Structure 1
């Protein structure tokens, strides 16, 4: 029996060690998200597609060279009437049949070059802005992935800690119910106290189910980024620093945002591209000058057989080489109003893009200020929530002592318990709100990078192994 217990202990220890070994950090999950997140993959594909716009628009300014060659083997049968004369000077009309067999080789090379084409030039400049827009959009999506990964990761930790607190509250409520039942059984209290305790216990059970569902959903959301399940994540250290943002000046953060915010760069590049496109449409009224050079070689060899034969029959052979240099001026005179309509349309599209850029700038300013306020509020909230845990713990101890001597009733004890565990969950939520809000502030400022993931990763620790009864192996010290 002792040997079996020893083997069971070894098995449990191995299981707990396996849990720790396979625990994943925030950086581990982020790397998986970079390689597997479909949103980022779609953004990368869109980026690669959009940067080709610059090359496509530049093509109209570069030489266009084409070459052509063909070989032709033909046989021709013909019949015609011809006049012939004999030695006596007599003429007659005869039917003559001709059979021609010929081979033709043709080679040509042509080069076309735009010499003066302002629409093509401004379209090229618009294409460059599209490339800038694509780069900024991809950078924004990469920063968004950092926020989405961190938010999904810490929401799992949030759900896990809230569930732990809920289970602890359920155990406390169960103990309180058992103690109340015992007191009722010996006639020390009324049945109403038992009903009160049972109502609270039932409420904690329902609450635990809710937190279990919330945690399961959080894990699903994290899995949607990586395509894998994550059941053993590293935890945020208790001494993770909650500090005011640096720099502390809200105006400096707004300046950072106006300079570096990726969405604002996307909007500004879009407006610039629309302006260049409008210029290109405007220039469609102007003439275009193009130059071209072509070289053609044509070689035909063949034989013709006449029946009856003819003294004057010649073979169909021919050979030619042609060099041609051409300058072409094209002047649009009237296109049914299409050119003017296209110009007006492009101008209004530029106006819309410009106004959208202004809207984005105002939103960036507002969001940066709001996020800065949120971080400041989070710092104060975390400190207040931590103090609230201390206060509610003291209040619970005092209420339980008063209940033991008869100065407080069961309702007071149950309310004190509820306040303490609610304070614990509020503190947990406040800490994770702070972490996410700091990342979102950096996202708005345009300074967010994988280095922030690495910095956060240093404040994670291995999760505490869980025993068979569901509690942690190392009990956390009371706050």
Structure 2
């Protein structure tokens, strides 16, 4: 008996110990999620692959300006045979007609090597310059994708925390309304209140149950969105601590953030390089009507051998070998190509206009986004502070309403409304903190200053989730 009792106690203590460690040991931090996303995010992987592909554009554009070396070899075999009638007249006047077969087998081996170099080609030169700009565009596009991953990770991570906070608030509200419903029924049973108060409490409790169901679904959806970024499922996440205090963006000057965005926004940088590449491509098409000059050196060797049947003094077996060396300077000037040169020129300049107008539009949007996000973050700072105060004031109002209800000066509707205000204030406070975090990330992304250091800065305010109590699970 003693052994069994001790074993049961040890098992219970072990389970309790593991339960205490589980939230921390099995929880992911924001840095954990970001590192997993760096490895698994399909969108970023696609951007990296596109970046590597675009890096080759510079080499491809430069290739026509570099020497072109080609080597070739050929071997041919020729076997021929023919039969003809031959008339032979002898001295005695007799004539003999014979079938004579002639044949030959010839083997030819040849080798050649050539070196070509473009001496003058303005079209190819502008293509090369455009390729350099396209490479710079690829670098800026990848940097923008890397910054966007930080934003997407933060949105998904704090989206889960937001949904979990809303679910906790919904469960707490449902429990509070359940207690209020029980108290209302007891007061009705002793004749202190009318049945309408019971109906009102039941209706509010039922609506709270619906809200809880909705929030449970929102948590599941948020977790699925997080798994899209990381490619795997996650358990609990570290939560934003109460010591996190929103601060106004630095510098506080809105115009400074506009300047940051115009100078550092990676999407804007990418489209500027795209515009320059399009301009040079258009120049390249324009230069297609100009002459080109190229030089070519060629060296070749060939060897020919074989046999003939029947061999005669006048029909010797083929045998020869030789080599050839040549240098060519070639001048080409397109005189007429069916209108293709002019059409390509017009088309490429219109394509340049497309990119230029897109750059103008993106510049305007970048400026507007910088201003609006700065205003939003400043507003978020004030909203977090105001909503924190709203929790205190709504709780005081609830306490006063409950006291009035106890003495008969307030009714059940007043109490239920006051309770709703408390839980709404709690939800709004949590949501405003997450809004501040996400909007701050977006502001820095738009300004081109967002980096993994911002993830590390947030990590300091995250704490391991507390184990759920039995009442919260219910």
Q: TM-score range by the shorter chain?
A: over 0.9
**2:233 aligned residue (225, 229, 236):** 229
Structure 1 residue 303 displacement after superposition: 2.6
Q: Deviations over 1:48-81 (max 9, x none)?
A: 2222222111111111111111233433324568
Distance 1:431 1:470, change over 3 A: same
Matches within 5 A, 1:222-261: 222-261=226-265
Over 3 Å counting, the alpha-carbon distance change for 1:34 and 1:395 in structure 2 is: same
CA apart distance, 1:283:
0.3
Aligned to 2:219: 215
- 1:70 maps onto 2:79 in alignment: no
Instruction: Give per-residue Cα distances to partners, 1:315-352, cap 9 Å, x unaligned.
Output: 31111100010011111001111111110111111111
1:303 aligns with 2:303: no
CA distance in 2, matches of 1:83, 1:44: 83
**Could you say which residue in structure 2 is the equivalent of 1:422?**
424
Of 260-269 and 379-388, the range deviating more from structure 2? 260-269
Q: Does 1:152 align with 2:146?
A: no
Quick one: structure 1 residues 310 and 342, their matched pair in 2 at CA, closer, same or farther if it must change by over 3 Å?
same
- Other-structure match for 1:468: 470
Is 1:45 the counterpart of 2:49? The answer is yes
Contact 1:60–1:120 (Cα < 8 Å) also in 2: yes
Give the match's secondary structure for 1:67.
Answer: strand
Deviation at 1:205, TM superposition (A): 1.1
Which residue number in structure 1 is paired with residue 280 of structure 2?
276
Give yes or no for the alignment of 1:440 onto 2:442: yes
Are residues 84 and 459 of structure 1, via their aligned partners in 2, closer, same or farther at CA, if it must alter by over 3 Å?
farther
Residue of structure 1 in register with 2:371 after alignment: 369
Equivalent position to 1:349, from 348, 351, 362: 351
Post-superposition Cα deviations, 1:355-389, rounded to whole Å, max 9, x if no partner, equal: 11011100000001100010000001001000100
Instruction: Return the match for 2:396 from 394, 397, 400.
Output: 394
> Which of 453, 456, 460 pairs up with 2:455?
453
With over 3 angstroms needed to count, the CA separation of the structure-2 counterparts of 1:129 and 1:204, relative to structure 1, is same
Aligned mates of 2:275, 2:90 — CA distance in 1: 89
The structure-2 alpha-carbon separation of the partners of 1:130 and 1:390, relative to structure 1 and needing over 3 Å to count, comes to same
Which among 112, 115, 120 is matched to residue 119 of structure 2? 115
Counterpart pick for 2:291 among 275, 287, 291: 287
1:93-242 map, 5 Å: 97-242=101-246
**Equivalence for 1:358:** 360
Q: Report how far residue 24 of structure 1 moved.
A: 0.3
- 1:212-263 CA distance string (max 9 Å, x none): 1111111111011112112200001101121000011111111111111011
1:313 aligned counterpart, secondary structure:
coil
Q: Is the 8 A contact 1:244 1:379 kept in 2?
A: yes
After TM superposition, give the deviation of residue 103 of structure 1 in Å. 2.6
Q: 2:411 aligns with which of 405, 409, 412?
A: 409
C-alpha separation in 2, matches of 1:363 and 1:119? 35
* C-alpha displacement of 1:83: 10
Correspondence for 2:318: 316
Alignment of 1:321-340 (within 5 A): 321-340=323-342
* 1:409 CA displacement: 1.6
Q: Give the Cα–Cα distance (whole angstroms) in 1 for the partners of residues 275 and 430 of structure 2.
A: 44
- Tell me by how many angstroms 1:84 deviates: 9.8
Shift, 1:471, TM fit = 6.3
Q: Per-residue CA shift, 1:263-313, capped at 9, x if unaligned?
A: 11121111111101100000011011111111100011223232xx53333
TM-score (ref. length: structure 2): 0.94
CA RMSD of aligned residues (A): 2.4
CA change 1:347–1:82 in 2 (3 A) is farther
Q: Report the CA distance between 1:200 and its aligned residue.
A: 1.3
- Once structures 1 and 2 are overlaid, which stretch shifts more, 63-72 or 356-365? 63-72
Matched, 1:34 2:56: no
Q: Distance in 2 between matches of 1:330 and 1:203?
A: 83
Q: Which moved more, 1:4-13 or 1:378-387?
A: 4-13
- Which of 369, 379, 382 is residue 381 of structure 2 equivalent to? 379
SS in 2 for 1:50: helix
Residues of 1 paired with 2:115 and 2:87: CA distance? 49
